[in-house]
A and B are shown apart, each in its own frame.
Chain A
Amino acid sequence: MRGSSMVDQSAAATGMTAPVIPRPRIARLVNLPVWIWLVVIVLLPNALLIGCSLMRISNGFIAFDPSLVNYQRLWGSSGFWTLLGRTLKLSLVASGIAALVAYPLAFFVGRIVRRNKALIVTLVLVPLWISLLMRVFAWRLILGQSGLLNSFLVSSGVLDRPSEAFLYTSASVILVFTYIAIPYIFIATLNAFEKLPQSLLEASEDSGASSLQTFLHVVWPLTRRSLAIGVSLAFLITVGDFVTPSMIGGIDGTTIGVLISSQFGMANNWPYGAAVAIVLMLCCGAIVGLVMAACPQRGVLLGDEGARPASGAPSARGRWLKIGGMTGVFAVILFLYAPIALMAFFSFNDSKMQLFPLAGLSLRWYFDLVHNDGLIVAAQRSLIVAFFVITFSTIVGTAFALLLHYGRVSGARFCEFAIALPIAMPGVVLGIVMVLGTEMLRIPSGLVRTVVGQSSFVLPVTMMLVLARLRRLDPSLLEASLDLGADKLRSFLFVLLPLIRGAVASGALLGLTLSADDVMVTLFLAGPSQTLPIWVFNQMRFGFTPTVNAVFTLLAVACLLIVVAASRIGGRLGRPVAQNDA
């Protein structure tokens, strides 16, 4: 596959530059890899999921006996409906709250902030790159029975004894989901606010509209679709998250993701789990559809509306707006970083108890890491998996992007949408879909299965990033190169490649963090060969050791280094995520 990708790329260039000459039959075959990927990685496993949901379990084995028995069981189970309702409610409420925070924030950063804008944007987005597991764990540290909040309240006399009210409730799940959702909604809407031409706002003001009227009649209609995309993204990510509820939620916070994962784990009833997953997917589709319908998009920004930067008329109202906005920005950044900072802080604590005041500074947890063989092996495995995933995804993803953009693939839009589907699937559903797919292809569980499973969502990200870059390129650049006597291969090497290099590199780095952090999908695929996050997840389930703090602190530092590298290489960090569904 990797060997043939260079051929694909030059063939992609051919497709663009030979509009008149009928292409040789062989050229039509360049579409083949795209279709193979589509069928093997996306369509087949999803078809298997549907098929599996129609099966029945007997004596612990799947019996080939098509029926709707699983759905009948679901229909009659009031427990299931309660669980489904709660799952959707938790995610929707959290996405809604996050939208209320992130939308004004994006407005402020996108339209009003001038100085330090890049820094603020990076700060809000960095949590996306930091392990989900770590962020959830950090909240546990704060909310738990022997956590910081309790110890603070007890020592300050508000409570007599530690309360269990904070952890293991719906509210705590909503809090953490909101925490996860804010950066996604922020990046989706920031882009819309930045693109909004200043002249439209001026034209509205010129027409006699007050600020509120301008917002209602111009700003809102032109940004609501981006908000809907951000909210949908946050909703899909939280609804498929079974890690947070299982660690934070307790009984009241259990969600359907936990149910599905248990059917594919302990309960070992795949057909039932598949049916639950399908019902969940249908509900998610309906909700995303409703959100999109509630925020319709009309008209097309033509780019000639003008984009003069905001005039810096320092009015008294503007000053107050700025002060208020900056306060909001600091509050959000504090909210995003406080848990992570606390965790890093406690990794140097010379005690097993996570309480203030610190028992003393020490590096003992870090030294413990070095002698922990399980951890070292898991970390090595993570690196190996990440290496193969990003090498494969970057090369093939770039080739696919070139094919879809230049290769005149029939149904290119459909291909793009279908290949990107795994990104939009709730994590737990993608996990079981990949289990079914790899099981069918007789790929044994372990490293290979993990690599295939992770590529299913890393490759689309790389592809979308490169595609977005290609679409922004001036098409006449490639024509100019050909016109100036460079053949297709050299045009690709000297013109196209340098122009898309940034997108390819940031795709690879994003893929690295996606792969290295993944729990949701990998948990189903890894089997005995655990990657680092799976190892940590298991450690946490069996009980707390402060070593986890040290692991996460090191991971966070690594993530920060990657983010810095990515921003050096170029391109806005968050763009990739915003474009997933765009």
Chain B
Amino acid sequence: MSLTDQPLLALDGIDKTYEGGKKPALDRVSFQVAKGEFFSILGPSGSGKTTLLRMIAGFETPDRGRVVMDGEPITHVPPFKRDVRTVFQSYALFPHLTVQGNVEYPLRMARARHPERAAKAMEALALVDMADYAERLPHQLSGGQRQRVALARAIVCRPRVLLLDEPLGALDLRLRQQMQHTLVSLQKELGIAFVYVTHDQGEALSMSNRVAVMREGRIAQLGTPEELYFEPASEFVAQFVGRSNLIPLTFQSGDDGPVAVIGGSRFPRLTSRKSGPARLALRFEAIRVAPASDGEGDLAGVVEDVLFLGTNLEVNVRCEGLNLIASVPAARTNELSRGQPVNVTMDLSNARVFHG
């Protein structure tokens, strides 16, 4: 919230329960989005993130709480009077209008004059590299192209907030990566605040200034991608953001307070103020694996299987009744194979311990 004093968009204590629903879809959700910020809402399906987006767009009204834009409450302002545009998950291109007709649509609704309309539409299409397709109808485009047209239609009026509802969900991997770059540079260029809904943690981490992680209608954690990654506030966040082993352990009283015991081994490096059972969240890349012959490690184990992922390998090691997954750079680990005895070393600098 460092960019300006007054947030561009603020949600304040939003509650929403759908008719006939038992659990609330949104439960006391509050957050603020600054001008020109790339804000992501990350969560598994059913966590309430799309409901949240529809509330900002004006398609849903909260049971309680308010939506404020630039200091003005807009909770009950209808969608067509909000300076907010949405890129729909399904693109929602009008099938009977050409690409240009689709992009001109909001300008037409704003009663812009014809030459101005065409010029602005072509400009927006040029921004997403679709100017050559202006005369086509939506069904004559590929999925990626439709996506770009939907984006052009949403930004042609330069709204203050752009909402994106899993816009890359239907694209293949290569297109998705390409579009991520397009989105980030477009956002920088236009200075529009983006509110981006996704269930893909990779997309959220790579593009956003800040991310709100949703779980069952509540915000589980809100922070920068680095904060979420390195300091997850809960097991849920630790598992949902990045890839973590969750290792059960117990803290037993020792000379300098409670000390961690994993399997049967003591870890004097890992201490806590509380004794008792707990779980350790440890990123895949915080575990190193070396052949048993290379000397000592924290734990001894046997390789169960190895997945080759290109830049790195994921090694599943069985040790002391636990399965640990380590992510190791691909080049160095040709020596690892199934059934091989290994030693595992844990980098505990970014590990998080959750009691209870």
Give the interface of A toward B (CB within 8 A): 197, 199-200, 202-210, 213, 217-218, 221-222, 297-302, 304-306, 311-313
Q: Are A304 and B170 in contact (CB under 8 A)?
A: yes
- The answer to whether A208 and B88 touch (CB under 8 A), given A200-B94, A202-B59, is no
- The answer to whether A306 and B92 touch (CB under 8 A), given A206-B86, A207-B105, is yes
- The answer to whether A209 and B90 touch (CB under 8 A), given A221-B96, A222-B95, A304-B170, is no
Q: Are A306 and B88 in contact (CB under 8 A)?
A: yes
Q: What secondary structure prevails in chain B residues at the interface with A?
A: loop
| Residue B64 at the chain A interface, CB threshold 8 Å | no
Q: Are B95 and A299 in contact (CB under 8 A)?
A: yes
Q: Are B90 and A199 in contact (CB under 8 A)?
A: yes
| Residue B138 at the chain A interface, CB threshold 8 Å | yes
Residues of chain B lying within 8 A (CB to CB) of residue A312 = 19
Residue-wise, chain B 37-72 has the 8 Å CB interface mask toward A (1 for contact) of 000000000000000001001111100000000000
- The answer to whether A298 and B79 touch (CB under 8 A), given A202-B59, A306-B90, is no
Residues of chain A lying within 8 A (CB to CB) of residue B84 = 206
Within the complex, which residue of B86, B106, B109, B138 is in contact with A302, where a contact is CB–CB below 8 Å?
A: B138
| Residue B215 at the chain A interface, CB threshold 8 Å | no
CA distance A313 to B90 in the complex (A): 22
Q: For the A-B complex with A199-B90, A302-B139 known, give 18 more contacts whose Cβ atoms are closer than 8 Å.
A: A197-B92, A199-B88, A200-B92, A200-B94, A203-B88, A208-B80, A208-B106, A222-B96, A299-B96, A299-B97, A299-B139, A300-B137, A302-B95, A306-B89, A306-B90, A312-B19, A313-B59, A313-B60
Q: Are B59 and A305 in contact (CB under 8 A)?
A: no
Residues of chain A lying within 8 A (CB to CB) of residue B110 = 208
Closest beta carbon of chain A to B349's beta carbon, Å: 45
CA distance A205 to B80 in the complex (A): 5
- The answer to whether A205 and B139 touch (CB under 8 A), given A213-B109, A222-B95, A305-B92, is no
Residues of chain B lying within 8 A (CB to CB) of residue A203 = 86, 88, 92-94, 153
| Residue B274 at the chain A interface, CB threshold 8 Å | no
Closest beta carbon of chain A to B189's beta carbon, Å: 21
Residues of chain A lying within 8 A (CB to CB) of residue B89 = 306
Within the complex, which residue of B81, B95, B157, B170 is in contact with A300, where a contact is CB–CB below 8 Å?
A: B95
4 A-B pairs with the lowest CB-CB distances in the bound complex, closest first: A306-B90, A299-B95, A207-B106, A203-B92
Q: Are B90 and A197 in contact (CB under 8 A)?
A: yes
| Residue B108 at the chain A interface, CB threshold 8 Å | yes
CA distance A208 to B58 in the complex (A): 12
Q: Are B88 and A202 in contact (CB under 8 A)?
A: yes
Residues of chain A lying within 8 A (CB to CB) of residue B133 = none
- The answer to whether A205 and B79 touch (CB under 8 A), given A213-B109, A304-B170, A306-B90, is yes
Q: Are B96 and A297 in contact (CB under 8 A)?
A: yes
Q: Are A199 and B92 in contact (CB under 8 A)?
A: yes
Selected A-B contacts with CB under 8 Å, 30 pairs: A197-B90, A199-B90, A200-B92, A202-B57, A203-B94, A203-B153, A204-B94, A205-B58, A206-B79, A206-B86, A207-B106, A207-B109, A207-B157, A208-B81, A208-B109, A209-B105, A210-B80, A217-B94, A217-B108, A298-B95, A299-B137, A299-B138, A300-B95, A300-B139, A302-B95, A305-B90, A305-B91, A305-B95, A306-B92, A313-B60
| Residue B85 at the chain A interface, CB threshold 8 Å | yes
- The answer to whether A209 and B80 touch (CB under 8 A), given A199-B90, A305-B90, A311-B60, is yes
Q: Are B85 and A207 in contact (CB under 8 A)?
A: yes
Residues of chain A lying within 8 A (CB to CB) of residue B73 = none
Closest beta carbon of chain A to B197's beta carbon, Å: 14
Closest partner residue, chain B, to A225 (CB atom): B96
Q: Are B95 and A206 in contact (CB under 8 A)?
A: no
Q: Are B137 and A208 in contact (CB under 8 A)?
A: no
Residues of chain A lying within 8 A (CB to CB) of residue B339 = none
| Residue B263 at the chain A interface, CB threshold 8 Å | no
Closest beta carbon of chain B to A370's beta carbon, Å: 53
Closest beta carbon of chain B to A62's beta carbon, Å: 51
Within the complex, which residue of B19, B80, B138 is in contact with A207, where a contact is CB–CB below 8 Å?
A: B80
CA distance A213 to B106 in the complex (A): 11
| Residue B254 at the chain A interface, CB threshold 8 Å | no
Residues of chain B lying within 8 A (CB to CB) of residue A301 = 95
Residues of chain B lying within 8 A (CB to CB) of residue A222 = 95-96
Residues of chain A lying within 8 A (CB to CB) of residue B78 = 205
CA distance A239 to B105 in the complex (A): 41
Closest beta carbon of chain A to B251's beta carbon, Å: 49
CA distance A209 to B109 in the complex (A): 5
Q: Are B93 and A305 in contact (CB under 8 A)?
A: yes
Closest partner residue, chain A, to B79 (CB atom): A205
- The answer to whether A217 and B90 touch (CB under 8 A), given A206-B80, A210-B80, is no
Residues of chain A lying within 8 A (CB to CB) of residue B54 = 311
Residues of chain B lying within 8 A (CB to CB) of residue A206 = 57-58, 79-80, 84-86
CA distance A265 to B140 in the complex (A): 55
Closest partner residue, chain A, to B83 (CB atom): A208
Closest partner residue, chain A, to B156 (CB atom): A207
Closest partner residue, chain A, to B61 (CB atom): A313
Q: Are B79 and A202 in contact (CB under 8 A)?
A: yes
Q: Are A207 and B153 in contact (CB under 8 A)?
A: yes
Closest beta carbon of chain A to B143's beta carbon, Å: 8
CA distance A173 to B294 in the complex (A): 100
Closest partner residue, chain A, to B93 (CB atom): A305
Residues of chain B lying within 8 A (CB to CB) of residue A210 = 80, 109
Residues of chain B lying within 8 A (CB to CB) of residue A209 = 80, 105, 109
Closest beta carbon of chain B to A16's beta carbon, Å: 25
Closest beta carbon of chain B to A378's beta carbon, Å: 51
Residues of chain A lying within 8 A (CB to CB) of residue B61 = 313
Residues of chain A lying within 8 A (CB to CB) of residue B90 = 197, 199, 304-306
Residues of chain B lying within 8 A (CB to CB) of residue A300 = 95, 137, 139
Interface centre among B61, B109, B139, B157 (most CB of A within 10 A): B109
Interface centre among B59, B86, B88, B92 (most CB of A within 10 A): B92
Q: Are A218 and B106 in contact (CB under 8 A)?
A: no
CA distance A197 to B85 in the complex (A): 18
Residues of chain A lying within 8 A (CB to CB) of residue B58 = 205-206
Residues of chain A lying within 8 A (CB to CB) of residue B97 = 298-299
Residues of chain B lying within 8 A (CB to CB) of residue A305 = 90-93, 95
Closest partner residue, chain A, to B106 (CB atom): A207
Interface centre among A208, A217, A298 (most CB of B within 10 A): A208
Closest beta carbon of chain B to A284's beta carbon, Å: 28
Closest partner residue, chain A, to B170 (CB atom): A304
Closest partner residue, chain B, to A200 (CB atom): B92
Closest partner residue, chain B, to A224 (CB atom): B96
Closest beta carbon of chain B to A318's beta carbon, Å: 12
Q: Are A304 and B79 in contact (CB under 8 A)?
A: no
Q: Are A298 and B86 in contact (CB under 8 A)?
A: no
Closest partner residue, chain B, to A209 (CB atom): B109
Closest partner residue, chain A, to B76 (CB atom): A315
CA distance A218 to B91 in the complex (A): 15
Q: Are B105 and A217 in contact (CB under 8 A)?
A: yes
Closest beta carbon of chain A to B53's beta carbon, Å: 11
Interface centre among B61, B91, B153 (most CB of A within 10 A): B91
Residues of chain B lying within 8 A (CB to CB) of residue A204 = 94, 105, 109
Residues of chain B lying within 8 A (CB to CB) of residue A207 = 80, 85, 105-106, 109, 153, 157
Residue-wise, chain B 238-282 has the 8 Å CB interface mask toward A (1 for contact) of 000000000000000000000000000000000000000000000
Closest partner residue, chain B, to A306 (CB atom): B90
Interface centre among B54, B138, B157 (most CB of A within 10 A): B138
Closest beta carbon of chain B to A297's beta carbon, Å: 7
Give the contacts of B143-175 with A (CB-CB under 8 A). 153, 157, 170
Interface centre among B85, B94, B97, B153 (most CB of A within 10 A): B94
CA distance A206 to B57 in the complex (A): 7
Closest beta carbon of chain A to B4's beta carbon, Å: 25
Within the complex, which residue of B59, B80, B96, B170 is in contact with A311, where a contact is CB–CB below 8 Å?
A: B59
Closest beta carbon of chain A to B80's beta carbon, Å: 5
Q: Are A208 and B157 in contact (CB under 8 A)?
A: yes
Closest beta carbon of chain A to B308's beta carbon, Å: 31
Closest beta carbon of chain A to B304's beta carbon, Å: 34
Closest beta carbon of chain A to B288's beta carbon, Å: 45
